[in-house]
Structure formats: C-alpha cells, structure tokens
Structure 1
Amino acid sequence: MQENRFRVRLRSGGKLLVLTTALLAGVGAVGQSVGWVLLTTTLGPTAYLLLAHPQTAAARLRCCLLGHACATVSGLGCLAAFGLWHYPSVIEGQHVTWRQIAAQALAVGLTLLLLVLLDAHHPPAASTALLIASGLARPGPPLYGMLTGLALLFAAVALLPRI
C-alpha cells in the first residue's frame, strides 16, 4: 500500500517537474528573445500554486491578478514614499539602509492588508512586493520583465488541460 502511494506521488511529482520546467523555460526563452529578464523569483512560487494546487483559492486567476497588482502598487508606492525610486537596489548598493528596510517591510505589509481586504489571498504576491521595494525589480525593464513573465505564466497555465 505504501509503495502504491509512493508511485502516485512520483507520477504527480513527475508531471509537475515536466510542466514547471517547460513553462518556466518557455518564459525564460521568450525573455531572452526580446532581451528582457522575464524569469524572476516570483514566478517559482506562483507556478507552484497554479500547477500543484490549482483547486485552492490562492490559485484562482482573480487572486493571482489582484495579488500581484496589489504587490506592484504597494512596492512602487513604497519606493516613492521613501525616496528610493532611483536609489540602487539592495544588491547594487551592497548594503541595506533603514529606508530600504522600512520600504520593503511596509510594501509586504500593505500587500497583505490589501489581499485580506479584497479576499484575494495569493502568498507569492509578497515576493513581488519585496522584489519591487528592494529595487531588484525597479521601474523600467526589470519591472516590465517580471510583470510580463507573470502574464505569460498565467496565460500558459490557463491554456493547459486540467491534469
């Protein structure tokens, strides 16, 4: 009986391996062809939810779209509010300032508040807020690439037959 459960998990995990690899490689390939980085860290947890747990509320398209939209608005708002719009990212600056810490923490907190108010829970959106507020997905090609990558992922998953 345990061996049978293992085989079921192995089959399910194998499907996830193939689907996730194919979808994310496709997004990455599109990004390479247009010269943008479309494959960012927010796509991993989003793909996991959409593919491994499609029946959950957090994987509904409404929650995905509202989640990442709220995170984008929160992240951009915090960049502006803390005067970090043109400031180097936490990686480029090789250190983090108190303003950056405050902007990042508030961006995630605001995202969570908005998701609760809108009843649109989507945990990966917190990473989107953090990427933007940290300056890693700053306004311009990094932000556009991340959002385009998410849009391609949503479209690709919507086109997949239910597995």
Structure 2
Amino acid sequence: MRRSAAKRTDPGPPWVAGVRLLVLSAFALTVVGLVGGGVGWVWLTTALGPTAYLLLAHPESEGSQLRSAVLAHAAAIACGLACLAAFGLWNHPSVAETHRESLRQTGAQALAVGVTLLLLTLLRAPHPPAAATALLITSGITRPGKPLYGMLAGLALVIVLSAVLARVPGARPERGTSSAGP
C-alpha cells in the first residue's frame, strides 16, 4: 500500500527518536528488573529487549499490538515447553551449564522456533521477539520453574509498561516516521 506524501511527517533528526527509545526502554526495563529483584527472581531476559523495542519504536505496527505480543509469546512458550517434553529435555542441564548443545537440544530449539513461526503466521500475530522466548525455554536457560515464571512476569510487565509509555504525550513517534522497522 502506497502512502501519500500528505500523510508523511518530518521525523526530525534521528537522535531524537534514539533518545526517546533510550529513555523509555531504560525506564521500562529498570522497573522490570527492580520488581523482579524485589521478589528475588530474574525477570529480565533476552526476549524483553526486542519486545520493548518493537512496542516502543513501532507502536502502530501489527506486531506491536497487544494481541500479537500476547499470542506470540504464549505460542512460543507452549512450543518451547512441548519441545522440551518431546525431546526428553525437561530436566536436562541448560546450554549455559554444559557450554554446548546436544543434538536433542538443537532439534528442540529448531523445532520450537519453526513451529512458533508457523503459529505466528496462522494466528496473524507477527511478533518476532517470540522466537527468542522459544529459544530461551528450549535451551534450558529459562527452564520450567522460577526462571520461566520470572520470564513470564517480566514479559507481562514490559508489555504493559511499553503500551502505557508509548501513549505518553510526546513519547509516541509521529505516524509515518518509522525508520527501518516493522
């Protein structure tokens, strides 16, 4: 779909958008980290950074909609857990502990991401950070129990915070100013 020139606005210097993202993402992730630390769990995981970026930098994109973020991460969690079980890795040490991936872990990781992407397409819920969620689970880094619950809580909080922060007056990017994003 071609946009008319009348709908485009001048995004201004790139550093303005960069500073906006710096402040908003740092705030959101600091809150998540402090709350997680307050309850004694790790809530900041690698899936949160890309999720915060997508929701804050491109709030109008389909992948940034609450429906897409929630469905995509839910699909990734289900796929990750199913692959852990299917490949007999439920209690297997994580790749962080063994410093290598077994053939079963590689298979579980590849299948979990592939099925997650299939589900994102079928559900029409494009949210690329969900692939990181599937990998975190199948690698054993975010294993079932406290690590998984922490990631779930962190994801929930970053999704809510990002949705709120993206609506703060002056914090939302102008329509048509999206640079190289979804």
Asked if Structure 1 and Structure 2 have the same fold, meaning a TM-score greater than 0.5 normalized by the shorter chain, the answer is yes
**TM-score, normalization by structure 1:** 0.94
Other-structure match for 1:93: 98
Other-structure match for 1:81: 86
**TM-score, normalization by structure 2:** 0.84
User: What runs of 5+ residues in structure 1 fail to find an aligned partner?
Assistant: none
Percent identical among aligned pairs is: 58
Is 1:53 matched up with 2:67?
Answer: no
Other-structure match for 2:68: 63
* Whole-angstrom distance in 2 between the partners of 1:159 and 1:94: 39
Tell me the secondary structure at the aligned position of residue 91 of structure 1.
helix
CA deviations on 1:93-128 (whole Å, 9 max, x unpaired) are: 222110000000000001001111111111000000
Does the 8 Å CA contact 2:55/2:163 hold for their aligned counterparts?
A: no
Other-structure match for 1:16: 21
Tell me the secondary structure at the aligned position of residue 92 of structure 1.
helix
Other-structure match for 1:130: 135
* Whole-angstrom distance in 1 between the partners of 2:88 and 2:146: 20
Corresponding letter in the other structure for 1:46: T
* Whole-angstrom distance in 1 between the partners of 2:126 and 2:11: 31
Larger relative contact order (C-alpha < 8 A, sep ≥ 6)? 2
User: What runs of 5+ residues in structure 2 fail to find an aligned partner?
Assistant: 1-9, 173-182
Extract structure 1 runs of 4+ deviating beyond 3 A.
Answer: none
**CA distance change for structure 1 residues 131 and 11 in 2, over 3 Å: closer, same or farther?**
same
**CA distance change for structure 1 residues 87 and 117 in 2, over 3 Å: closer, same or farther?**
same
Aligned residues: 159
* Whole-angstrom distance in 2 between the partners of 1:99 and 1:64: 28
Other-structure match for 2:41: 36
Higher helix share: 1
State the Cα distance separating 1:6 from its structure 2 match.
Answer: 8.9
